[in-house]
Amino acid sequence: MPSPYRALFAAPGAKAFATAGFLGRMPLSMMGIGVVTMVSQLTGEYGLAGALSATIALSAAVAGPQVSRLVDQYGQRRVLRPATLFSLAAAAVLLFAAHYAWPEWVLFAACVGIGCVPSVGAMVRARWAALYRGTPQLHTAYSLESVIDEVCFIFGPIISIGLSTAWFPEAGPLLAACFLAVGVFWLTAQRATEPEPHPRERHGGAGGGSALRSRGLRVLVTTFVATGAIFGAVDVVTVAFAEEQGHKGAASVVLAVYAAGSCVAGAVFGLLHVKGAPERRWLLGVCAMGVSMIPLLLVGNLPFLAVALFVAGLAIAPTMITTMSLIEEHVPRAQLTEGMTWVSTGLAVGVAVGSSVAGWVIDAAGARAGYGVPAVSGAVAVAVGFLGYRRLRRPAPGRGGTVEHHTEREERHLA
């Protein structure tokens, strides 16, 4: 591991909470695809399987920010443990309901409960922020977390699908639930690195109300709805394109290459000593993601698609890392976890929309035409980014950004 990353773990407890966070985050990439695999194997109904997976995603989009808001107010341990137990109980109901062919409404109700799973990635990033706020190490820490995200998305679906097809249908979701239980309870057992809660902020003042009161955060979330549509559409269209090419099984490898591009870029980005305004880097990253979708319209075979997706993936992690820095500047410190979760919510909503629209286009015009969906989504993300850029240049007073950032901005505006 390069020295800037190794230096992160000099802080007491850093290795432990980072490892726990990795385990607790694996279900993010395993549960949805695991449910699709399980239900399609048990019932043969792909429509039902997709609807259940979408229910989990949308439920998480609604419940996730509320759980994170409670975490900001009461602390990670007091909130995450009961929320995780509720989600695990819902997962158990889903497994039994699928295995014993219970009514479909039970399946959907269980998926709504699973959506109450906490955003473990936001919890770990909040711990890094508490350790390294105002230092260059925080940039490296956010880079590390983006790399871990991509590692989860490279290996999680492969593990989940492989277990459910090679062992028994419920194996993938079952292992995802085990990862969640171990990761969250191990993470919350580490009290020394837990960020201090802010219970008084809920009564009003600068931190009162939802974190979405921040105009800058609204720009970020809206942009990432469009970005999520890119991800959701690319996944669905790539599977359909591989099937048209007669190699449906290769879709998982091609999508892993997409995630690998982001993983490589995130690792390199974390080694850089970035300077200048983060909103400019963010807008450049959004533009790069949008432009990188255009070559997908020209793909003719799977090798070319893999190369195009690897290049497209290079823009993802740096943009996400910069987004986390911007959230710190535009959201009160007392609502940092909620703010990070809102970005994940925007992505989840976008994934659901993008995958649905892409499926409709594929049915109507074929897989190659389906790549028009991520291209249009990229254009929307760029447009929203440009329209909201001015709001990102003006963090509100008293936000969670570092003193150095605010001073630099004030000097720049005065000049």
Pair 186, 271 in one domain: no
Give yes or no: residues 162 and 187 share one domain.
yes
Q: Does 327 lie in the same domain as 363?
A: yes
CA distance 301 to 32: 28
CA dist., res. 112 & res. 57, Å (int): 9
pLDDT at 309: 93
- Residues recorded for the chain: 415
| 230 in Cβ contact with 293 (< 8 Å) | yes
Whole-structure pTM value: 0.74
List the structure tokens of 376.
């249009």
Q: How far apart are CA 163 and CA 153, in angstroms?
A: 16
Q: What angle do CA 121, 126, 129 make, to 5 degrees?
A: 130
User: Which two three-digit tokens encode residue 406?
Assistant: 């605010």
Let me know whether 174 and 306 are in one domain: no
The helix/strand/coil state of 177 is helix
Residues 165 and 260 in one domain: no
CATH of the domain at 375: 1.20.1250.20
Same domain, 187 and 280: no
| 147, part of any domain | no
Dihedral over alpha carbons 298, 300, 306, 309 (to 10 degrees): 20
pLDDT reported for residue 147: 81
- Cβ neighbours of residue 208 closer than 8 Å, sequence gap 6 or more: 201, 202
For CA atoms 240, 245, 249, 253, give the dihedral sign: negative
Based on the fold, state whether residues 276 and 304 are members of the same structural domain: yes
Residue pair 37/164 in contact by the 8 Å Cβ criterion: yes
Assigned domain for 332 exists: yes
pLDDT computed for residue 248 by the predictor: 67
Residue 202 inside a domain? The answer is no
For residue 402, the enclosing domain spans 210-415
Please report the pLDDT score of residue 336 as a whole number.
72
Note whether residue 352 is domain-resident: yes
Torsion sign, CA atoms 249, 252, 254, 257? negative
Whole-angstrom Cα Rg for the chain? 21
Give me the pLDDT at residue 10, please: 84
CA distances from 210 to 128, 201, 304, 335 (A): 22, 11, 44, 8
Q: Decide if 146 is inside a domain.
A: no
Largest CA-CA distance found in the chain, in angstroms, rounded: 69
| 132 and 228 fall within a common domain | no
125 Cβ contact list (under 8 Å, min separation 6): 141, 142, 145, 324, 340
From 18, 29, 280, select the one nearest 140 (Cα to Cα).
18
The answer to whether residue 296 sits within a structural domain is yes
The pLDDT value recorded for residue 208 is 53
Q: How many domains are there within the chain?
A: 2
216 in the same domain as 175: no
State how far the alpha carbon of 303 is from the alpha carbons of 14, 230, 291, 296, in Å: 40, 20, 20, 12
Q: What's the CA gap between 65 and 75, in Å, rounded?
A: 14
Residue 33 to residues 30, 172, 373, Cα–Cα distance (Å): 6, 9, 21
Residues 6+ apart with CB under 8 A from 77: 188, 189, 191, 194
Where helices occur in 44-170 by DSSP H, the ranges are 46-74, 76-99, 104-114, 120-132, 137-166
**Is 198 domain-assigned?**
no
pLDDT computed for residue 200 by the predictor: 55
Residues 222 and 111 grouped into a single domain: no
**Within a domain: residue 77?**
yes
Q: pLDDT, tens digit, for every residue of 283-321?
A: 999 999 999 999 999 888 889 999 999 999 999 988 988
What percentage of the chain has pLDDT greater than the value 70? 89
Judgement on whether residues 162 and 109 belong to the same structural domain of the protein = yes
- Within this chain, do residues 167 and 251 fall inside the same structural domain, yes or no? no
Q: How many Å apart are CA 18 and CA 21, to the nearest integer?
A: 5
Last residue of some domain: 193, 220, 254? 193
* Residues of the chain below pLDDT 70: 1-2, 45-47, 50, 200-212, 248-249, 393-415
